[in-house]
Chains A and B, each alone.
Chain A
Amino acid sequence: MSKWRHAHLLGIRNLDKEDIEYLLEKADSFREFLENSPKGCEELKGYLLVNLFFEPSTRTRTSFEIAGKLLGMQVVNVDVEVSSLRKGESLRDTVRTLGRLKPDVLVVRHSASGVPEYLAQFSPFHIVNAGDGLREHPTQALLDLLAIRRFFHRFEGLRMAIVGDILHSRVARSLAMGFGELGGRVVVSGPPTLVPREVEMLGVKRVFPVEEAIRNVDVVYLLRIQRERQDAGYFPSLKEYAAFFGLSDAYWEKIKDQVVIMHPGPVNRGVEVSYSLVENERSLIEEQVTCGLAVRMAILETLIREGEKPWEKRF
């Protein structure tokens, strides 16, 4: 088994193919393990996990919390609403103070791109990026890859269409990089206002219209559309979005024998995906959630057991 060479999980961009496969391999066993009850273990008993979320999140934070607890960790959620940041303390001081409470892993989500990398410069504990601005969401990408791997048992030659708000999506960035690294091919589509030309630098092709993009793929990955993008003028209405950029039952009939549907959640039913397709047998949307737990367990275990020690390196 390869030795894990990283102190943190900051983004997919820092990982090579071997790293990703190593994590997925491990996550796959955790995924099997999750079918058991009782499913807790004491693998990481005595270690402290702090969830520091500067953006509201239920799904990701809960997933990290359960992952830590199933491994026997102590888990603390820092509620930013009542934290000293509101009193004007700087991000740096907040995190340095938290550091003196001696966590082993800090899971951080922030609306500003680059915050996890900044914290990693001076933090004597492992940092896991749970989403930073528009940049990366590496655990989401890894859980998506796990779900794909468990369905198709391969990546080489697989084709995926990511549809929706590419411009503002850290999920799209991380996933396109990870899927590409493993040998898959990605096309993107959606409203042209939200699918910038620059995405092509990731080796991704822009294809319009959506019907064309999803015609010959194995995975249709629909991104959540945020209401505030409409208010900012990127598209006119949810009705129009559903009609042209969502996956309808009618179109599904044409492609259903060859593709699976994925979505990072939470789904706007009837907008990105028609109401009934969420629970379709070829939808991996709910399986993605369980894979998320497995992937996060694998990451915590790997960083603590095998990761480089940030304090050895920097302090």
Chain B
Amino acid sequence: MGKKILIRRGTLVLPHKRLLVDEDILIEDGVIIRMGKGIQDPQAHVIDASSLLVGPGFINLHVHFREPGEEKKEDLLTGSRAAVKGGFTSVVCMPNTKPPIDTPMVVRFIGYRSQEVGLTNVFPCGAVTVGCEGKNMTDFGLLKKAGIVALSDDGKGIQSARLLYLAFQYSRYFDLPFLLHEEDEEIAGGGHMHQGEAAFLLGYRGIPEAAEDTMIARDLVLALYTGAKIHITHLSTAFGVELLRYFQKFIPVSADVTPHHLLLTDQDVAQMGNFAKVKPPLRSKKDVEALKEGIREDVIEILASDHAPHTAEDKEGGFVDAAFGISNLEVAVPLYVKALVEEGVIDWVNLWRKLSYNPAQFLNLKERGMLEEGKIADITIVDPDTEWEVAVNQFESKGKNCPFDGWSLRGWPVYTIVGGRVVMRERSIVDGEFC
């Protein structure tokens, strides 16, 4: 007989049915075997989930784990620990490592390493171009065979329209989706923050919305003509939402946002400094409102986080010299709760849907993203009520570059179960089976 876990007295979140139900859930050998009221099983280890929400594990399709090559910033162990601390049972790690994820060898390396770590499911994202240099397509087919689930040159926009046009056509053979970082480098022109009054006043070179919106428009047109499956990642502009809304009439294009683009604006840069330096830049109040509206209307169907850890050295010095990026993996969910649930933008079920079911569907992870008998037991349990403070010095991640230190938040994950194994309990990583 296998190992059993019984989660009792919780409220189950069923995002694929858009339902909350008060039921118990029984797990055996890594699989959900029963759901229903008043399940008894003397052999099972019991988790009491009274007044907690129990749902499919969160899936974050945009993180940077920096391994191989930049283990000073993060590695697959610390990244995985941060993931399960934050309630994420699956993550998609971006390919801008050193070397980049542009050969089957690196894909397999990440596969082996993350299995060795054995905390969260790590799905590598392959580079669109060799070396993420924007010049030549990588071997999409061989990369998929090695285990990638998507393609991206994240960190950079793909400047050549022709290259992307052909890559979009070519990708269809292998049914690989694109996660697109949208930035026209000529327009962005080496800017450091959103081009607006704050940048003007601070005297920082600006990154206009046009740098993002022109690329979004171009790529939507290319997707329209090629039938490629594309997803705009870390969408940050109001007009980007508008473009997406328009094109969704014709093609099934999706997008994600990050928590920081919902909670901060360019006005915060003056006070927060380097920790608020990120790409795309923190935009204006109007953009934040438009993103929330897009989320409410399901134009934006996925929530990710663009977890981008850096060393203290990388974030030091003047604003102009500091690296772009925010470390947020273990606080992403409570940040979303603050930005979206507490503000009444969406309810818990819809939040959960955008954090689990929708990304699973997008990535074609059929066995994940829902609570159902027979599915893999990737489960996150959230305490919706208790307030805790963000303590960056307690982060599992090596990246302490987080502007939310000291914020008091609700909606923290308190248990993370990956493949039927409890890996986080009461906000601590637990090594091994259960208890």
Interface residues of A (CB under 8 A from B): 191-193, 208-209, 233-237, 239-240, 243-244
Measured CA separation A134–B227 after assembly (Å): 26
Q: Is the CB of A235 within 8 A of B142?
A: no
Measured CA separation A193–B172 after assembly (Å): 9
In angstroms, how far is the closest chain A Cβ from the Cβ of B159? 13
* Known contacts A193-B166, A243-B142; is-contact A233 B173 (Cβ 8 Å): no
Closest to A234 in B: B166
| Known A236-B137, A240-B139; further 13 A-B contacts with Cβ < 8 A | A192-B170, A192-B172, A192-B173, A193-B169, A193-B170, A208-B173, A209-B173, A233-B163, A234-B166, A236-B139, A236-B140, A239-B139, A244-B173
In angstroms, how far is the closest chain B Cβ from the Cβ of A83? 35
In angstroms, how far is the closest chain B Cβ from the Cβ of A108? 32
In angstroms, how far is the closest chain B Cβ from the Cβ of A240? 4
Measured CA separation A192–B227 after assembly (Å): 11
* In the assembled complex, B141 has its CB within 8 A of some CB on chain A: yes
Q: Cβ of A240: which chain B residues have Cβ within 8 Å of it?
A: 139-142
Closest to B135 in A: A233
Can you list 30 A-B contacts with CB-CB less than 8 angstroms, sorted by A residue number?
A192-B169, A192-B170, A192-B172, A192-B173, A193-B169, A193-B170, A208-B172, A208-B173, A233-B136, A233-B137, A233-B162, A233-B163, A233-B166, A233-B167, A234-B166, A235-B137, A235-B170, A236-B130, A236-B136, A236-B137, A236-B138, A236-B140, A236-B170, A239-B142, A240-B139, A240-B140, A240-B141, A243-B142, A244-B141, A244-B173
Most buried by A among B130, B137, B138, B163: B137
Q: Cβ of B162: which chain A residues have Cβ within 8 Å of it?
A: 233
Measured CA separation A208–B171 after assembly (Å): 12
Q: Cβ of B142: which chain A residues have Cβ within 8 Å of it?
A: 239-240, 243
Q: Cβ of A191: which chain B residues have Cβ within 8 Å of it?
A: 170, 173
Closest to B140 in A: A236
Q: Cβ of A239: which chain B residues have Cβ within 8 Å of it?
A: 139, 142
Closest to B138 in A: A236
Q: Cβ of A209: which chain B residues have Cβ within 8 Å of it?
A: 173
Closest to B163 in A: A233
Q: Cβ of B139: which chain A residues have Cβ within 8 Å of it?
A: 236-237, 239-240, 243
Q: Cβ of A208: which chain B residues have Cβ within 8 Å of it?
A: 172-173
In angstroms, how far is the closest chain A Cβ from the Cβ of B75? 29
In angstroms, how far is the closest chain A Cβ from the Cβ of B104? 10
In angstroms, how far is the closest chain A Cβ from the Cβ of B209? 29
Measured CA separation A234–B173 after assembly (Å): 13
- Residues 128-165 of chain B: 1 if any A CB is under 8 Å from the residue's CB, otherwise 0? 00100000111111100100000000000000001100
Band of interface residues on B: 10 to 19
Q: Which 4 A-B pairs have the closest CB atoms?
A: A240-B139, A236-B137, A193-B169, A244-B141
Measured CA separation A191–B139 after assembly (Å): 12
Closest to B226 in A: A192
Measured CA separation A192–B141 after assembly (Å): 13
Measured CA separation A163–B252 after assembly (Å): 30
Measured CA separation A191–B138 after assembly (Å): 14
Most buried by A among B130, B162, B169: B169
Measured CA separation A24–B136 after assembly (Å): 45
Measured CA separation A192–B165 after assembly (Å): 12
- Residues 372-397 of chain B: 1 if any A CB is under 8 Å from the residue's CB, otherwise 0? 00000000000000000000000000
Q: Cβ of A236: which chain B residues have Cβ within 8 Å of it?
A: 130, 136-140, 170
Q: Cβ of A243: which chain B residues have Cβ within 8 Å of it?
A: 139, 141-142, 145
- Residues 105-147 of chain B: 1 if any A CB is under 8 Å from the residue's CB, otherwise 0? 0000000000000000000000000100000111111100100
Measured CA separation A235–B142 after assembly (Å): 12
In angstroms, how far is the closest chain B Cβ from the Cβ of A192? 5
Q: Cβ of A233: which chain B residues have Cβ within 8 Å of it?
A: 136-137, 162-163, 166-167
Q: Cβ of A193: which chain B residues have Cβ within 8 Å of it?
A: 166, 169-170
Measured CA separation A239–B139 after assembly (Å): 8
Closest to B160 in A: A233
Measured CA separation A192–B169 after assembly (Å): 6
Measured CA separation A233–B163 after assembly (Å): 7
Measured CA separation A237–B138 after assembly (Å): 8
Closest to A191 in B: B170
Measured CA separation A193–B168 after assembly (Å): 9
Measured CA separation A136–B130 after assembly (Å): 36
Measured CA separation A191–B167 after assembly (Å): 11
Q: Cβ of A237: which chain B residues have Cβ within 8 Å of it?
A: 139
Q: Cβ of B173: which chain A residues have Cβ within 8 Å of it?
A: 191-192, 208-209, 244
Closest to B144 in A: A244
Q: Cβ of B130: which chain A residues have Cβ within 8 Å of it?
A: 236
Closest to B139 in A: A240
Q: Cβ of B137: which chain A residues have Cβ within 8 Å of it?
A: 233, 235-236
- Residues 52-87 of chain B: 1 if any A CB is under 8 Å from the residue's CB, otherwise 0? 000000000000000000000000000000000000
Closest to A237 in B: B139
Measured CA separation A244–B140 after assembly (Å): 10
In angstroms, how far is the closest chain A Cβ from the Cβ of B225? 11
In angstroms, how far is the closest chain B Cβ from the Cβ of A231? 9
Q: Cβ of A192: which chain B residues have Cβ within 8 Å of it?
A: 169-170, 172-173
Measured CA separation A191–B140 after assembly (Å): 11
Closest to A230 in B: B136
